[in-house]
Structure 1
Amino acid sequence: MAGIKALVGLSFSGAIGLTFLLLGCALEQYGKYWPLFVLIFYILSPIPTFISRRVSDDTDIEWGACGLVMTGNAVIFLTILGFFVVFGGGDDFSWEQW
């Protein structure tokens, strides 16, 4: 019974999230439809999980490798964020105009 409640809760939160996404795009006062491209990535996001389940049935993850990968991802994402913070302003083209 707990699994059904979790599934219903996740479905409800997903529906609320999509409602907010569609409202942000469809309300006439905003008039921006670019955020709908996020739906492409929502559809593509489960593909790596499907591939990894087909390749390996063993779910035993080495914690050292997991930690190194997570640390590497954090460093790379913080580097990208730093790039946009340092070089994002001061030019004619700005993300804020969208």
Structure 2
Amino acid sequence: MTFLVLACALPQYSNWWPFFMVAFYLLAPLPVLVSRRYGDGTGNTNPCREIALFITACIIVSAFSLPIVLARAPAMAPVIAWGSAGLVITANIVVFLTILGFFLAFDNDDVDYSMW
């Protein structure tokens, strides 16, 4: 989140458009959480889980492509600077790897939490 705030608040960028990435950060884990709740749980490959992974992949690709599109806006007045786009992409990498780590760490239902 620090990189995202820097992309918005540094004086040479001073544009709050990159802060809309927070919506992608909130939307990315939702399809997997919904599929986990409503899936039948009989195996790793069920249609509900596959569709949720596809939607999640679309959200993640959109989060990486939006700053590039905003930086490549018409040459007269790009919406954000390339430095800001780089900071947003760095923030995307950190946040999405953190979300992935959360799902990998807490995905096992076989873990006995009483040993903690």
TM-score when scaled to structure 2?
Answer: 0.39
Q: Going by fraction, where is helix more abundant, 1 or 2?
A: 1
- Between 1 and 2, higher relative CO (CA 8 Å, sep ≥ 6) is seen in 2
How high is the TM-score relative to the length of structure 1?
0.45
Largest Rg, 1 or 2: 1
